[in-house]
Amino acid sequence: MKRKVVILCVFVVCISLFLTGGKPKLISEDEAKKAGLAFINHVFDLNVTEVTVTKSVKAGATYVDGEYKETGNEQHITFYAVATPPDQYGLSDYMAFVNAETGVAYFAEKSYSLVPKMTSEQYKKWKKAYGSGDAQTADFGNLINDCYVYGREWIAEKFDLQAGILGSVDSGSIFDDNGGSSNFYIVIRDGSIYHMTVAWPQMIVMEVTILNQTRPTGDLP
């Protein structure tokens, strides 16, 4: 009797896989909305309640020796974009990505339109580092160091890390007429990897991504 029950269960599973094409079950829009809202509010210390939810699919990617490679074995990534209502130009102040298979929110960003103007002291700091506006002669040292220090402290506190930080890896920094920003990875001893973008000298987190989660972020490994 037990053998018949086991065979029947296997048969039911096989039929289910056949009907679904072996594809994993995706979370609902309501579940994605809840996860995305929670992540946006947590990352940026907000109390947002109104968002739009859009499901999208992006081709997967293989990252080999610092470059993207097409191996033919990449799996498509299904995700939800959870964003605050767009303005008249179609731009949102805040956005998050949610893994449609796991339900994990792994990316959040805020619009640069929300970055306040530099104070007089911040302007002096920016002017000293940026100089004449030539990127070849600009002093990126202070910008990068300030953002690294700030980012490491912010990540540890915001995500209540239970393991130490191994180090930070540069992902590119820029100056512009409104300040500057630094992009970098933070590697944790438990294997977690975060990517951050910090606006400088205002020291505001603009983006955070949990790289250990499947994501559609095209410009990140």
Neighbours of 209 (CB within 10 A): 20
Mean pLDDT, rounded, of the chain: 84
At 23 the pLDDT is: 66
Q: How far apart are CA 213 and CA 215, in angstroms?
A: 6
Give the model confidence (pLDDT) of 172-214 as tens digits.
Answer: 999 998 899 999 999 999 888 999 999 999 999 999 999 876 5
Q: How confident is the model over 9-33, as a mean pLDDT?
A: 65
Q: Is the peptide bond before 201 cis (omega within 30 degrees of 0)?
A: yes
Give the model confidence (pLDDT) of 49-91 as tens digits.
Answer: 999 999 998 766 665 655 656 677 767 789 999 999 999 999 9
At 65 the pLDDT is: 58
- Are the CB atoms for 176 and 58 separated by under 8 Å? no
Which residues neighbour 85 within 8 Å (Cβ) at sequence distance 6 or greater? 50, 51, 52, 92
Give the model confidence (pLDDT) of 133-162 as tens digits.
Answer: 888 889 999 999 999 999 999 999 999 988
166 HSE (CA, 13 A, CB side): 11
What letter would DSSP give residue 28? P
At 221 the pLDDT is: 35
- Are the CB atoms for 206 and 95 separated by under 8 Å? no
Give the model confidence (pLDDT) of 111-136 as tens digits.
Answer: 999 999 999 999 999 999 998 888 88
Residue whose pair of structure tokens reads 């990316």 in the numeric block: 107
Q: How far apart are CA 211 and CA 216, in angstroms?
A: 10
- Are the CB atoms for 119 and 126 separated by under 8 Å? no
At 61 the pLDDT is: 63
Bridge partners (DSSP) of residue 100 are: none
